[in-house]
Structure 1
């Protein structure tokens, strides 16, 4: 990745107008690591290329520049590129403009040349221009109200499982446990009764008239955003 920094180096007479510093994360190939590589045509010459969507500039080694049959004129540059984690800038030999082609797309791109490194690094802008990289950006950020309005039916009532009844797989070797009912505070009992009726009416629970093999106590707590309402939870301690 290549990122522009705020500090600019001293002026350099006769150089191009680019006066930024850059950080180069990849300079040499890394054995055993899968990198986003492809092949592009540089001045008509097939060149193995490393695509870096975080790079702001294109970078090549001196060896790659010398391989071109008709190397473009090399101009001085004030740009300084730094290998990631290195305080010493790479030795920059200059900058040139060349044709970069991929499939049916050809563009003119500014390419910086360093005496160090061994790969041709294709920056983000050029990679997009030759259709090697595409970015998908969201054009609308929906807030909570938009989502609730769009899916209104999903925010009403209780969501129930539709289709065949759900089968719970129970280990028959485990003996059923019927735990004693916990006492509910007197001031909460009317609200608990009201909540139980609501759950029964919604089909979430069913009333039973006889003993059942499994019995777990309930835990009652107030709802933080609805102090007048209660939440009933089952406490399967065993």
Structure 2
């Protein structure tokens, strides 16, 4: 008789015993296997040698054939996954809340997983519904669910929650601004900034509450002044002349320092007609970042040397009113004449003040600066410091296990050797807690793993470290070392190959730090980890193996 499908051996690392037993049940159903004796025989035949040996140990002194299929499945299940505490499982269930960015479907699915061992019985659906409402982390959704009349089932609550989630997502997509308008600026937000104030933009084209860039009247001609770009309702000529700031219409234009008012940047213009149809007004946030030292040059203006900042982002060169009054006394100052130049900016506010003088592009086109000299003066890298080098490679000193990437360790064992199994040695009572704690840490870190059976076994040797913790060692000289072909070379070959590129010696502190930076970079690339408190840097002398190494050479200690 042909069979449908196959089960295969149980692989503990790839699936749980419960999942394996469920696959067996499906196999029995597909092949119409109903007799308990036949189910037991199939289980013992396909489970694999290691699992069969485990079953024999669990039923000893009886034989596996003396137990039923259900009894064997239960024995192995309790061995691999002992029944957890109901109290602890219920605490985990009632403590579960929806994480940021987690979908409703994933949240409910995890709640069902946590409820597996809670033994809620007939109240399971009510518990799931209550946890969904209380732990959804969405006050709007909570109010929506609490408004529903009873009885509110988990299925109905789940449907409402998913619909609410979908609606919220769709609303965000509809309100999302055009990504082509402005790039994102990241920085700390000004505490005095109000979101309501930021979004309330008045369009100067139609007086509507939107950006002028998206206004449908930006290509319409005004019926009052006949100019293009606005309608009569927003026409400034119709409303009367706009009072102009006298300080804007002069050659000497003033710029207020951004640090004085990190609030908002407004558009500055004399007349609406000068606006380009593609111009927009944006609200900026204050970014609190480390200020870069400005590049300054000295420029002779009307016989007076003035220090100015080189600013290629400024279209014109400016000085503040205070600078103007400082260098030229009354009657000797060059005249300030009206100018037709209209300054427009989205990041700077032109007001009275004492900000720095800027050397803009208009003067830079006329004045030929020595850019090579400026580059050397302002862009020369700062000298290396030990703390900078160590901070650059701080991942090397993380409190975790490293993993060498360039090579793989191999242990060659004589195939003719016989396995050796030694019983564990007694551990002093005072060290048992520390040994168990260290074994648990090693297992969680993936350094060791528990096994059911092994032909090789070496006794554990605990070693007390300086910080009071325990290092777990194995007395392998009794077992593997006798059968292994060991390399007697004093250093690992991968370490020699990794550091053999270091040549010569450092003659200065700068060169020494550069060499140290190269060594740490190589070790970091290898995947190693170092214990920071075991290393000392920049010492005048080092004592090693009975000798003292100094700048003058090697001396006996």
TM range (shorter): 0.3 to 0.5
Query: Which has the higher Rg, Structure 1 or Structure 2?
Result: 2
Ranked by relative contact order (alpha carbons within 8 Å, sequence separation 6 or more), the top structure is 1
TM-score, structure 1 as length reference: 0.36
Q: Larger helix proportion, structure 1 or 2?
A: 2
